[in-house]
Structure 1
Amino acid sequence: MKIVNLSQRTPQWLAWRAQGVTASEAAVILGRSPYQTPWRLWAEKTGQCAPADLADNPFVQRGLALEDQARRGFEQRHDTLLLPVCAESSVHPVLRCSFDGLNDVGEPVELKIPAQKTWEAVASQGADSQAYRLYWVQVQFQIAIAEAARGWLVFDPVSDQATALEFEIVRDHAFIEQELIPACLRFAEAVRTRQEPPPDPERDRYIADGEARMHWERWSSHYRDTARRIQPIEAELKALKGQLAEAQQALVELMGDFLLAEQDGLRVQRYRQQGSVDYAAALAELHPELEPAQLEAYRRPASERVRVTLKEEPVTGSPEPADAPRRRRRRDSAPDTTEPATALEPFGYF
């Protein structure tokens, strides 16, 4: 291991990280991260896409604010000192680590400040939890760089209401030598030679190229123009429906207790419609022992939906935005194909 004299979170540190493969990227490279694809990471490192800006993410802000407290907590519990350092592999310098801390015997300690939901999942599921599985890869990478026999993964919410969850992670020599290091070196070479990995059709963003680009431009222009024409019509329709509702309410009030009226070209009928059964409430009351997972067997097949969002139309002749891919068949990563949640906890960010 070669120590690199850099202060973490500085511009020099960011540049150093960008020129190599880091521990937090290992799970992505192996295809184990649900939050980023190998292609997206490659695109960011080759300048095809801008990295996501996590500066305002509350989980990131909280992690940075409480990391020192979590470090002191581990030091007190284990009667040791943790040295936060940057290092490169002595064999493969392109493989790099920014350690939260190396203890007195050179073992890496990875500190996580989890959200309550993540902490509860780790507390109940342990090594089977998603967070543990993702960060296990990160710690194995750190163990490899530190040339250590083991490392530590710590989930410390830094809270009086919850204790730190600590996992001793033993070096997995076969995983490191046969899977982790080869995959990371291949990825580093792909970045150096700009040989892109295949995009994931379900998680990366399609970008038309060649003849498809011309068709896409034609149909997208047609869609935008049509949508703009529809907008004032929809606004007028909404106003007219409001007027209908107002007139209907006035007619019903005039009818008093009568259920039917027919006069001047209008038939107005009042009726009651039976309410639907609240099956969720019924199940909760009649069979409280049922777990949500048991109901999945009765879920109807998923159906595909399409959502089209009108974006700012690019100005003709202006340079391409920094975060837009410049090559063909590209996608930006997404957690999944459902509506994304806000402020996702950034697994593997540090």
Structure 2
Amino acid sequence: MSQLIQEEKPVRKGSALRLVETRTLSRTDWLAVRRTGIGGSDAAAAVGLNPYKSALELWLEKTGRDAELAQPDPHDTTEPVYWGTLLEPIVAAAYTQQTGNRVRKVNAVLQHPTIPYMLANLDREIVGVPGLQILECKTAGEFGAKLWRDGVPEYVQLQVQHQLAVTGKRAADVAVLLCGQQLTVHRIERDDELIARLIPLEVQFWQYVTSDTPPPADGSESADRALRCLYPGNAGVTVDFTNDRRLSATFADLVAVRAEIEAREQQEAKSKQTIQQAMGDASRAVFETGEISFKRSKDSAGVDLKRLLADHPELESQYAITKPGSRRFLVSI
């Protein structure tokens, strides 16, 4: 697991508080409660270790600035969140069948006994098994299953350690349904040393929230989305960084990296074309350290929009839409 920080602080263990009962709570109200703290699924993003969400995007959510960000529709069957919610009880039932361990719903948002903004929403509680109290249910499709090849992904491990920290419990099982047909179960024991490093980082993130200060961007696509949402653009305004040595050095690094990328992309294209030329019409080439597939894809159907509008110009105004412009990051030297 990636290093968090080396500083350790004593972690108080105790029973979690039941902050809000969720049995009759609407999804809107549940999301509002989630904004009041850091939940288990937020933990990895808060410390910069979530492959899907940056600390900056999480900060937008917690400060109510995420209205312009694309939100997954829990009722859309093409969204992973839909299938995760739908299959959660099935995964829990399959876990019981496979292990013999009984589980039950908690029906509450739990709160750390001494750190009020550390929250947890448990999928299930395991009953009657000494030293094992939490079940986390996951689903993974074809792409997501790759992240589970070597065990529980780091961001899920952090989610579970956060839950163990909030509840004071000793261990959890993570049951994951891979590609809809294989259930695997992983045991995660409480790691007090990791929790002692995790909590100060969560405290640091929450200070960004309470002080209304955005955390630094991390170079991810998530951070890029967050920045475009946070700063949509103010045409005609120029900022002068000529006397800012740090930002001027960052700009110089950017220019140098872009030049290096361009040179490497040219070398990549040349190497690719050399192999393509050697392959000719062959569809596969084998090398000492790997292989290349170079096949023609299937034909696809489309619409010749330009011709359609030429034949039926009245349709252009009838179906015209306006797409909002996005900020373009252009470098000049």
State the TM-score, normalizing by the size of structure 1: 0.58
Question: In structure 2, how many angstroms separate the alpha carbons of the residues matched to 1:58 and 1:283?
Answer: 35
Q: Which SS does the other structure have where 2:187 is aligned?
A: strand
Offset of residue 70 of structure 1: 0.6
Counterpart of 1:5 in structure 2 is 21
Counterpart of 2:134 in structure 1 is 108
Q: Does 1:24 align with 2:61?
A: no
AA at the equivalent of 2:123: D
Question: In structure 1, how many angstroms separate the alpha carbons of the residues matched to 2:93 and 2:87?
Answer: 10
1:69-108 aligned within 5 A: 69-85=90-106, 86=108, 87-104=110-127, 105=129, 107-108=133-134
Say if 1:137 and 1:281 are closer, same or farther in 2 by CA, change over 3 A: farther
Say if 1:286 and 1:191 are closer, same or farther in 2 by CA, change over 3 A: closer
Structure 2 runs not aligned, ≥5 long: 1-15, 240-275, 293-321
Offset of residue 169 of structure 1: 0.7
AA at the equivalent of 1:175: L
Say if 1:183 and 1:193 are closer, same or farther in 2 by CA, change over 3 A: same
Cα RMSD after superposing both structures: 3.4
Question: In structure 2, how many angstroms separate the alpha carbons of the residues matched to 1:196 and 1:145?
Answer: 25
Question: In structure 2, how many angstroms separate the alpha carbons of the residues matched to 1:280 and 1:95?
Answer: 60
Question: In structure 2, how many angstroms separate the alpha carbons of the residues matched to 1:208 and 1:65?
Answer: 36
Question: In structure 1, how many angstroms separate the alpha carbons of the residues matched to 2:184 and 2:32?
Answer: 33
Question: In structure 2, how many angstroms separate the alpha carbons of the residues matched to 1:76 and 1:141?
Answer: 27
Quote the sequence identity (%).
Answer: 24
Q: Does 1:214 align with 2:270?
A: no
| Corresponding residue to 2:145 among 100, 105, 119 | 119
Question: In structure 2, how many angstroms separate the alpha carbons of the residues matched to 1:281 and 1:25?
Answer: 50
Offset of residue 66 of structure 1: 1.2
Question: In structure 1, how many angstroms separate the alpha carbons of the residues matched to 2:103 and 2:179?
Answer: 17
1:230-309 aligned within 5 A: 277=277, 279=279, 284-287=284-287, 290=290
**2:175/2:184 contact within 8 Å kept:** yes
Offset of residue 157 of structure 1: 3.7
Higher relative contact order (CA 8 A, sep 6+): 1
Q: Does 1:199 align with 2:217?
A: yes
**2:140/2:179 contact within 8 Å kept:** no
What per-residue deviation string (whole Å, max 9, x for no partner) do you get for residues 199-235 of structure 1?
335543363878x85249xxxxxxxxxxxxxxxxxxx
**1:43/1:49 contact within 8 Å kept:** yes
Counterpart of 1:153 in structure 2 is 174
Say if 1:311 and 1:136 are closer, same or farther in 2 by CA, change over 3 A: same
**1:103/1:109 contact within 8 Å kept:** yes
Aligned length: 232
Counterpart of 2:60 in structure 1 is 43
AA at the equivalent of 1:78: T
**1:82/1:102 contact within 8 Å kept:** yes
Q: Which SS does the other structure have where 1:102 is aligned?
A: strand
Question: In structure 1, how many angstroms separate the alpha carbons of the residues matched to 2:281 and 2:84?
Answer: 39
**1:69/1:158 contact within 8 Å kept:** no
Offset of residue 285 of structure 1: 4.0
Counterpart of 1:312 in structure 2 is 324
Offset of residue 84 of structure 1: 2.6
Q: Does 1:53 align with 2:71?
A: yes
Say if 1:281 and 1:312 are closer, same or farther in 2 by CA, change over 3 A: same
AA at the equivalent of 1:287: F
**1:22/1:97 contact within 8 Å kept:** yes
| Corresponding residue to 2:182 among 160, 163, 173 | 163
Question: In structure 2, how many angstroms separate the alpha carbons of the residues matched to 1:281 and 1:93?
Answer: 65
Offset of residue 23 of structure 1: 0.6
**1:70/1:158 contact within 8 Å kept:** no
Say if 1:287 and 1:190 are closer, same or farther in 2 by CA, change over 3 A: closer
Say if 1:194 and 1:121 are closer, same or farther in 2 by CA, change over 3 A: closer
Question: In structure 1, how many angstroms separate the alpha carbons of the residues matched to 2:49 and 2:42?
Answer: 10
What per-residue deviation string (whole Å, max 9, x for no partner) do you get for residues 88-133 of structure 1?
11121211111111101562211111113322552x3335xxxx12
Q: Which SS does the other structure have where 1:68 is aligned?
A: helix
Say if 1:197 and 1:120 are closer, same or farther in 2 by CA, change over 3 A: closer
Question: In structure 2, how many angstroms separate the alpha carbons of the residues matched to 1:47 and 1:197?
Answer: 15
Question: In structure 2, how many angstroms separate the alpha carbons of the residues matched to 1:283 and 1:313?
Answer: 41
Q: Does 1:184 align with 2:202?
A: yes
Q: Which SS does the other structure have where 1:164 is aligned?
A: strand
Say if 1:42 and 1:286 are closer, same or farther in 2 by CA, change over 3 A: closer
Q: Which SS does the other structure have where 1:47 is aligned?
A: coil
**2:145/2:179 contact within 8 Å kept:** no
